[in-house]
Amino acid sequence: MLITWFIIVYSVLTSSSALFLALRLARTFRFPEDSSGERPQDEALSSLIPIKGVDRGTHDVLQSLVSSVLPGKVEFVFGIESDDDPAFSVCDQLRSSNPDRDIKIVISGEPRGLIGKQHNLAHAYKESKGKIIVCMDADIEVDPGTIQEGLSYLNKKDVGSAFFLPVYRGDAPLGGRLVETYLNYNYNLFMGSLTTLTEPPYIFGGLWMTRRSSLERTGGFESFGRTVSDDAAIGRAFLEVGLKNVLIPKIVHAQNENLGLRAGLKHLGKWIGMLRAEGIAPYFAIWLWWHPVFWSAVFLGVGLAGGWLSSDSIMYGALGVGLCLAAKTATSIILNIGVYRKGTLHSFLSVLAYELFAVPLVFGFGLFSRSITWKGRRYRLGSKGMVLGLDDL
């Protein structure tokens, strides 16, 4: 009987908290606070884009970026490790086809123990001149006015960084759907809503912005590249110098990853390995609180296997599992309608497959993870995700 009560209490607490957070995030995006005015017209802007490799949509995504409608002087600086990288020819083509835009390509060389993204950003930053710095992943899709909408948030008092909420969209095989479910309906739900309740010690690194003067106070990109948890390192650095990290209540899109099941699980493994690198306590807390469908089913299964449940207890335990599943589905619908403005047709099946299949696999293997594979490199990790070394694959 004790395990039945445990399932019920756990189910009620996790379900109610998830629903509260989803509604909180939806309300923030529906009724955003005043962003305190527009960006001054005379501040030059540098958009930094670290890039390694390309896919079929890279050119169009980057073309949308350089077509952004922005006042004042604007430069676009691409950080690439080598001119042998396919990304170099794409960026060079952009530069040739947009002669009215100030586009630079910076060759950064080997990362030498740093995370490749932050290494590229560091070199691009050294060649930039703008007082406002905008950093964007090469797969983030922006509309012409996206960056302009976000810049006004830098005018808020004591803001060090302002960042957008990244969202996957589009069709994908099962592996891509699992990756989408993790980001859209788990990570964004909990990490996104936390930014509305407290001053977050992290950013979302897909598209974020800061002032050069603020960034200089933190020590800059080279200090962020020593850990795989670079978004957390950036956020903590701003807090340490008395500046805030602010979520811009706007979404930016990335196309769903074209990944089969095995590749999707491998991609998830990279993200889960980054969570594990933060320590065993936060890892288990995230595993337990973000995935109530899986854990309530596990608790019920343990009770059944041990013969500790009466017929009534089994019914109540099953109701607890059903409550978690209903709440998880409801939160995905709330996010889709209130934040993402997208349909909900595939959400239920994706959530079910993720909770009962992907979660035990990737979190189970993640317990023993001491490295992650990212962009053709394996990073060996130490405490707090510090990079101990890397190997090209």
For 221, other C-beta atoms within 10 Å of its C-beta total 27
Dist CA 391 CA 371 (whole Å): 11
Going by C-alpha positions, the residue among 240, 234, 236 that lies closest to residue 220 is: 234
* Residues above pLDDT 70, as percent of the chain: 95
Q: How many CA atoms lie within 13 A of 60 on its CB side?
A: 6
Question: pLDDT grade, residue 242 (50/70/90)?
Answer: very high
Residue 51, by phi and psi: left (phi above 0), alpha (psi -120 to 50) or beta?
Answer: beta
pLDDT score of 226: 86
Residue 168 confidence class, pLDDT cut points 50, 70, 90: very high
What CATH number was assigned to the domain covering residues 33-262? 3.90.550.10
Q: What are the structural domain ranges in the chain?
A: 33-262
Mean pLDDT value of segment 146-168: 92
pLDDT digits (tens, 9 = 90+) for 297-323: 998 888 877 776 677 677 777 888 999
Count of alpha carbons within 13 Å of 195, Cβ hemisphere only?
28
Which residue intervals of the chain are DSSP H helices? 2-30, 58-66, 86-97, 116-126, 146-151, 174-182, 193-194, 212-218, 221-224, 230-240, 261-276, 280-290, 292-305, 311-335, 347-353, 359-366
Q: How many CB atoms lie within 10 A of CB 75?
A: 17
Summary mean pLDDT of the chain: 90
pLDDT tens digits for range 206-221: 999 999 999 999 988 8
Question: What are 101-141's pLDDT values in tens digits?
Answer: 999 999 999 887 778 899 999 999 999 999 999 999 999 99
Q: Is the pLDDT of residue 189 over 60?
A: yes
In the numeric block, the tokens 């990244």 are attached to 166
